[in-house]
A and B are shown apart, each in its own frame.
Chain A
Amino acid sequence: MEELIKIKDLFVEYRVGGVVSNALNGLNLTINKGEALGLVGESGAGKTTTALSILQLLPQDVGFITNGDITYHGESVLTKTDKEMGDIRGAKISMVFQNPLTSLNPVFTVGEQIEMVLHRHNPKLNKNELKKRAGDLLEMVGIARYRLADYPHQFSGGMRQRVGIAAALACTPELLIADEPTTALDVTIQAQILELMKKLQHEISTSLVMITHNLGIISELCEKVAVMYAGQVIEYGTVKEVFTKTAHWYTYGLLNAMPKLSGERERLVSIPGSVVNSENLPSGCKFHPRCAHCTERCKTETPPLVNMSETHQVACWEARKA
């Protein structure tokens, strides 16, 4: 399979007012062409940072890539100029944001916001063509064409997310990053949006990175899954393997913390402790203070990602045998 994006040993820091927090700590991840990858982890695990790093949109003067590399089609995005990145963003790689209520500009009509992407990447289109294409896109996501002239506040949350998806898919990108696109929505609307994304992903045959902390969405939508903890991928593989032959104790904890709808009722098990403090990371395996299977080695040495099978990798000294 062709590699689209390869992230190698990426370190990202946020520096605010003299405080440094380590958002990513040696992240390794590969995204293949046409593949749907799920990125899971608790809040603060670095999922959104990963997405913003790929697009080179870390907050200015706050977020810094201190080590590692990200390549797109084998070329490093870190050395690209802002102009070159601009040609990629929205056209080749685009993103759907978490909160549809805040990710559309309130003082421009949705039409203007969709046309803005189209115009940026197809400067030759004239006004009428732009309008027609934008209308087509709205219809594609299930919104009537005449609503192009409406402002975001005239739409419901779910509708706004549809607009966000339309804008993201406007130029048929190779990769769509969806950053928890349904977290802020009602459950019924969530299902509709997921359905829509699934459908469109197949129609346009784009790769998808689905960032979420909902494991259900992953099994529904994705082929591969990467589990993140403290800015690292700690388990990676096909959804089937990761979910059935879980090897990392953190992933195991996550799965056990999720209620099951069918079968016998079991007691939910929460993972003890709280999310790692990125301003003060533990040594060794970042998960060791919360892990029941922690050994002396875990406290001092960081485990590398090792193959469990061809399509399943884990970073744990005491990996669970299933």
Chain B
Amino acid sequence: MSFKIFFRRAKKSTFLKLGICGFLILLMLLFIAYPLMPYDWAGIDFANKNLAPFKDMKHIFGCDSLGRDILTRCLYGGRISLLLSISVVVFSVVIGTLLGLTAGMFGGWADIIIMRITEIVMSVPGLMLALCVVAVLGVNFTNLIIVMLITSWTGYCRLVRGQVMAIRNSEYVKASTVLGAKRFSIMVKQILPNCVTPIIIQASQNLGSVILMESGMSYLGCGVPLPTPAWGSMISDGRQYLTVAPWITIVPGIFLMFTVLSFNFLGDGLRDCLDPKNKN
């Protein structure tokens, strides 16, 4: 796919535009606005305990049960959530692609074993598997990444293997083999470019799903360990104060939704623009 076609389609795709805007706004908030915030994310101030939003414009989204500024915490928490999801996705892509390539290229036992493993992982609900492993390994940031990695590499592995299989049997690989080219080198040259598009699409949606999963794990006490705020842990922290100070829960949830929505827009937009089968 040439960049020209991509840009022509990108100009028409509302989803892609929304996704990119959302993502840029997010980056600006997290990396430009956060350092300018006058508060410390851990700064306790009992004078402002459970302060409602918009009452005091110094604390525009209010304060939590310890009087900490919610906006500051959301922005800092966003960095944590984003760091977590980006690390998980990057590692998943690398591991999934390598295993998928191995399975597809070598076939035989390598293929059987790798595909059985993906099936085993997929036969247990992701959150359940993650909880079990965290329960055993203990809660910390690295373990959290490992656990989410375990549940999310399978998608990439299957995707890459599928591409390899399709290309192995395609006319042009056969044709180039007939012309005397080395089968292996052709496949490597052909496969990776063919995989990039679907991987990008899946990764952009995976970014959002990791953030969602973190929120579930936080609620069950297996998320980002306290006192570090991540969106998920902030939401579950707020549940005790749902009746007196609902904003403690509402605000991080909105940040989370905005972010995941941006990633989903990005994913759908990229699909529209990158899919070679899409004619317009």
Q: Which residues of A contact B (CB under 8 A)?
A: 16-17
Contacts and interface: CB of A to CB of B under 8 A. Distances in A.
Contacts of A17: 12, 280
A121 to B, nearest CB: 36
3 shortest A-B CB distances, which residue pairs?
A17-B280, A16-B280, A17-B12
Contacts, number: 3
A17 B280 CA distance: 8
Interface string B1-38: 00000000000100000000000000000000000000
Contacts of B280: 16-17
A59 to B, nearest CB: 13
Interface residues of B, number: 2
A214 to B, nearest CB: 26
Nearest to B279: A16
Contacts of A16: 280
A17 B272 CA distance: 13
Nearest to A19: B280
B46 to A, nearest CB: 59
A15 B215 CA distance: 45
Contacts of B12: 17
Interface in B235-280: 280
Nearest to A17: B280
A16 B278 CA distance: 13
Interface string B51-82: 00000000000000000000000000000000
A17 B12 CA distance: 9
A16 B12 CA distance: 12
A16 B280 CA distance: 8
A17 B13 CA distance: 11
Interface string B121-148: 0000000000000000000000000000
B104 to A, nearest CB: 27
B272 to A, nearest CB: 11
Nearest to A16: B280
3 contacts: A16-B280, A17-B12, A17-B280
B17 to A, nearest CB: 15
B133 to A, nearest CB: 43
B246 to A, nearest CB: 44
B121 to A, nearest CB: 33
B38 to A, nearest CB: 48
B103 to A, nearest CB: 29
B279 to A, nearest CB: 9
A15 to B, nearest CB: 12
B15 to A, nearest CB: 14
A17 B278 CA distance: 13
A176 B280 CA distance: 33
A39 B112 CA distance: 55
A23 B12 CA distance: 24
A61 B12 CA distance: 19
Nearest to B9: A17
A16 B279 CA distance: 11
A17 B279 CA distance: 11
Interface in B180-204: none
Nearest to A18: B12
B278 to A, nearest CB: 11
A315 to B, nearest CB: 32
B40 to A, nearest CB: 51
A55 B280 CA distance: 27
A3 to B, nearest CB: 39
A18 to B, nearest CB: 8
B9 to A, nearest CB: 10
